[in-house]
Amino acid sequence: MLGLPAFVTRDPFHQLTITLCIVGLFLAAVFVLASRQKSKGQAPSTLEAYLKFIYGCFLKPHTGDGSGSQQDALSFYKAQADIYDATRLRLLRGREDMLGLVAAQLKHRAESGLISQRPVWVDIGGGTGHNVEQMNAFVPVASFFRTVYVVDLSPSLCDMARKRFARLGWTNVKVICQDARAFRLHEHEPQAYHRKEIISQAQAVRDLDENADAGGAELVTMSYALSMIPEFYPVIDSIDSLMSPNGVVGVVDFYVQNQVDFMGRNYMGGAIDRHCMWLSRVFWRTWFEIDRVNLEPARRDYLEYRFGTVLSINARNSFFGTGIKLPYYIWVGCSKEHGVSTQKLAEIDAAATESPYLAALDLQTGDTQANVEVHSKAYESAVVNLQSSLPLPATWYQNHHWRIHYDSALPKHTRFNNSYIYAFTWEDDVADMRLLKPSANDVVLAIGSAGDNILAFCLENCRRVHAVDLNPSQNHLLELKVAAFTALGYQDVWKLFGEGKHADFHNLLIQKLSPHLSSEAFQFWLHNGPSIFSSPSSKGLYYSGGSGNALAIAGWLFRLLGMTADVQQLCAAQTLNEQREIWQRSIKTVLHSQILTWAVLGNEKWLWKALGVPPAQRAVLETDFVKTQDYDEAKTTGVAKTDAAAADYMAFHEEPSDEALKSTAGNAIYEYVLNTFEPVINTTLLSTSNHYYLLTLLGHYTPTSHPTYLSPKSHLKLSKPAAFTGLRIHTDEISEVIARMRPGTLTIVVLMDSMDWFPPKGTQARKQIRALNRALRVKGRVLLRSAGLEPWYVSVFGECGFGVRRVAVRVPGSCIDRVNMYASTWICTKEVGIENEQGKAHLRKTSLAELKLEASALRVE
């Protein structure tokens, strides 16, 4: 056995001696560097700053006055005031983001006329004034703010702040060394105090700051200060009296919290990543209590109770390494009473339910047959909160009321795991507009998906557009698009949704998009957006979500087979002949491979996760495949001419057995794929007129091939102030949304292929169709697509008061539209209400006759 080196010993006494010597040398270095005098104006190095930080926090004897007061506790800052900012840059994360968010809110409120003068800013616990200097990156502090007050209880930190602002030459910044509980704005704002004296004559006034007519701060912030204030309740209470009615509060701080604490609350703006595991809660609370920093949840809870939540973010700081993450939050709020008038609630509710505004206001009026009063879930939750003296849900405090409140904790929403399936929409909006011809009088309800079709209806200036999707993340994507058109120029919009990449996404989100997003959507994109849009390792937006998996695998397959160059040539082809030649020579052999179809497209899990095709829809196309086979066989069996029509009709309409379906599953998918791609390549040019397949091959759009909403002309329309006034985004099932619609108000409903998702043996489809009949006006239309040539539920529409008409059918060799993904397109028009049994019976007979005619037409086609 090899021996140990001579200087290494196994004697425990010697090992302890060596360890103590090393620790002693380290401590000596800390003491020497910490006590070393610096020449005037010379900043300490990073190493010296952190050594002095260790000395001041953990080694230096306490030199306070021994009173045990907060001033006594803050005395330890005296020894590290000059290195405070240098050592907190990485520890106190989120400060710049908080400043950017509140600055964006102030600018939006100024542009909207809610703030009519230069704002006043009070920074509670402002310390060295670091926040004020950093704010200059977002707004020019010296000209944007009328006055800035930095309030802090530590004399040493206040001295540093005064030196900072003297150096910067900002005369509008005042440093106040005072207990935040005792700070009153009127004592430092003579004009506000004078106005207040006039207003309060002969009146009993509890707090001179509490009346907004006397002035008030448009911005109040606390950066890692709330957790250090022992008596935090009066400080939070004082913020309400400091603020003007349209003011904003911004807080960033450490926290630890258990989901049990906040479960069931609907007013905190979302709970993404809010829960901290048990070990994290115990460790961080104990660690920070050493320096009198308190992380108990009551501070944040009381903020959310005392004010309305505009934005709420939960994040982690990897200051101690990737394995140890320190929880912190950013919270932006406003007055709990901001926009909470009965009229405002009723107006927003009426827009979500299509109820008359006056009827929604008159809560005492009973329901009548002619005027049925309905309310949204958001309105009902608001009433419950107001009765309990709680703030309204965060959606009520947003700058826009596009997004309707929903309970994000429900299993029907959480099952999507904060992810969307569709990053782009597989519906031909040009075909939809041609079939429906929407106008300014239409009230539209459509499935949201990735939002492209919703934006198409907004381009048509429809009176109201209700976007519905059960997956919250799909609506987050739609919100991002709407916010982008509201706040960004065309080039930024194109980078985000044309190229799918934007190197400056984080700053764009904080500084420009945040005032136009709901709290839930903002949290989602703050967590996921940078990795999607700006990460060097990301391919962009269209490679995200479930549909992105399909694009990624297709690209991987093309690279594996050495066909990447052929794909590029196909997408750049300038003529159909050139496109067909490349397709036939190379790409067709891969996409139409039966092995690929069986292994990938024939896999149920893959179809659902990547392409959003549920088992029920797969069964529809498999059923059609078997029917078609049976129909072809019937044509060749020599049936007498007199019986041919009946035999053909029965051959196509009989349901195949389960055994027949199982035996043809792979072939059905193969035939469907074959009939989808071939006509697209032969009849539409990808480089100029078919952006759907161009995207799937390239992973991005091009200036010559893109959706309608991404043209410069569309940007001009959608960037106008009132472009989205009529938009309402519902996160729920279609049946739940239309059940809360006032009867007879919708004129257009677009269901995409969602009816294919219902099982034929269930009752869900019939219930939804009956609800659609109730919500639609007479002559109102339902547009739907199907993977089947004659889906089973079409007859149910006929039984429920609709006239049924197939307006497009896919036949071999031709395209039903530019997507060509569906076998048929239908428009179901409401002829009578379902309560009219006589009319319903008549329509049932009519629809059956029309179905027979459709079947006959299909054979001819």
Q: What is the pLDDT of residues 473-499, one digit of tens each?
A: 999 999 999 999 999 999 999 999 999
C-alpha to C-alpha distance for 748 and 236, rounded to whole angstroms: 49
- pLDDT beyond 90 at 725: yes
Residue 366, pLDDT score: 40
- Give the least confident one: 17-21, 643-647, 836-840: 643-647
Contacts of 365 (CB under 8 A, 6+ apart): 359, 371, 373
Residue 287, pLDDT score: 84
Residue 19, pLDDT score: 66
- pLDDT beyond 90 at 790: no
- pLDDT beyond 50 at 368: no
131 phi and psi angles, rounded to 5 deg: -60, -40
Please write the tens of the pLDDT for every residue from 152-183: 998 888 999 999 999 999 999 999 999 998 89
Residue 241, pLDDT score: 87
Residue 559, pLDDT score: 87
Tokens read off for 333? 């709020």
The CA-CA-CA angle for residues 78, 40, 55, to 5°, reads: 35
Residue 501, pLDDT score: 97
C-alpha to C-alpha distance for 212 and 146, rounded to whole angstroms: 17
- pLDDT beyond 60 at 62: no
C-alpha to C-alpha distance for 465 and 737, rounded to whole angstroms: 13
CB 475 within 8 A of CB 469: yes
- pLDDT beyond 80 at 315: yes
Residue 762, pLDDT score: 82
Q: Helix, strand, or coil here: 112?
A: coil
Residue 348, pLDDT score: 87
Task: Tell me the average pLDDT of the chain.
Answer: 80
- pLDDT beyond 50 at 448: yes
Looking at the chain, the whole-number percentage of residues with pLDDT higher than 70 is 71
CB 103 within 8 A of CB 511: yes
- What letter represents residue 466's amino acid? H
The residue written with tokens 């999607």 in the block is 532
Bridging pattern class, strands 464-468 and 727-730: parallel
Mean pLDDT, rounded, for 114-120: 91
Q: Is 368 left (phi over 0), alpha (psi -120 to 50) or beta?
A: beta
Mean pLDDT, rounded, for 444-472: 96
CB 148 within 8 A of CB 174: yes
Residue 68 burial by Cβ neighbours in a 10 Å radius (0-12, 13-18, 19+): exposed
Tokens read off for 286? 């104990």
Residue 549, pLDDT score: 86
- pLDDT beyond 50 at 84: no
C-alpha to C-alpha distance for 462 and 815, rounded to whole angstroms: 29
The residue written with tokens 């055994």 in the block is 659
Residue 593, pLDDT score: 61
Q: Where does the pLDDT of residue 650 fall: very low under 50, low under 70, confident under 90, or very high at 90 and above?
A: very low
The residue written with tokens 């900043």 in the block is 43
State which of 62-66, 511-515, 587-591, 596-600 shows the largest mean pLDDT.
Answer: 511-515
Q: Where does the pLDDT of residue 649 fall: very low under 50, low under 70, confident under 90, or very high at 90 and above?
A: very low
Q: How far is CA 469 from CA 33, 347, 413, 592, 735, in A?
A: 61, 23, 10, 33, 11
The residue written with tokens 């209806």 in the block is 457
- pLDDT beyond 50 at 715: yes
- pLDDT beyond 90 at 311: yes
CB 345 within 8 A of CB 382: yes
Mean pLDDT, rounded, for 489-514: 97
- pLDDT beyond 70 at 857: no
- pLDDT beyond 90 at 743: yes
- Give the least confident one: 45-49, 366-370, 773-777: 366-370
Q: How far is CA 102 from CA 135, 222, 333, 340, 391, in A?
A: 10, 12, 9, 21, 20
- pLDDT beyond 70 at 560: yes
Looking at the chain, the whole-number percentage of residues with pLDDT higher than 90 is 51
Give Dmax (Cα) for the chain: 111
pTM: 0.82
- Residue with the bigger pLDDT between 521 and 348: it is 521
- Give the least confident one: 296-300, 659-663, 830-834: 659-663
- Give the least confident one: 99-103, 264-268, 531-535, 812-816: 812-816
- pLDDT beyond 60 at 417: yes
Residue 365, pLDDT score: 39
- pLDDT beyond 60 at 830: yes
Mark out the alpha helices in 636-784 (DSSP H runs). Answer: 644-653, 658-663, 665-683, 686-689, 691-698, 712-718, 734-739, 764-775
Q: Where does the pLDDT of residue 472 fall: very low under 50, low under 70, confident under 90, or very high at 90 and above?
A: very high
Residue 834, pLDDT score: 82
- pLDDT beyond 80 at 193: no
- What one-character DSSP code corresponds to residue 403? B
Q: Where does the pLDDT of residue 188 fall: very low under 50, low under 70, confident under 90, or very high at 90 and above?
A: confident
The alpha carbon dihedral of 680, 684, 686, 690 has a sign of: negative
State which of 316-325, 417-426, 600-609 shows the largest mean pLDDT.
Answer: 417-426
Residue 613, pLDDT score: 54
Residue 341, pLDDT score: 74
Please write the tens of the pLDDT for every residue from 32-50: 554 555 554 555 555 555 5
Residue 4, pLDDT score: 43
Residue 633, pLDDT score: 45
- The secondary element (H helix, E strand) that includes residue 621 is helix 615-635
- Residue with the bigger pLDDT between 108 and 426: it is 108
CB 154 within 8 A of CB 128: no
Residue 655, pLDDT score: 42
- pLDDT beyond 90 at 261: no
Residue 67, pLDDT score: 52
Bridging pattern class, strands 326-335 and 307-317: antiparallel
Q: Where does the pLDDT of residue 393 fall: very low under 50, low under 70, confident under 90, or very high at 90 and above?
A: very high
- pLDDT beyond 90 at 756: no
Q: Helix, strand, or coil here: 800?
A: coil
Q: Helix, strand, or coil here: 641?
A: helix
Residue 211, pLDDT score: 39
- Residue with the bigger pLDDT between 632 and 146: it is 146
Q: Where does the pLDDT of residue 205 fall: very low under 50, low under 70, confident under 90, or very high at 90 and above?
A: very low
Mean pLDDT, rounded, for 298-316: 95
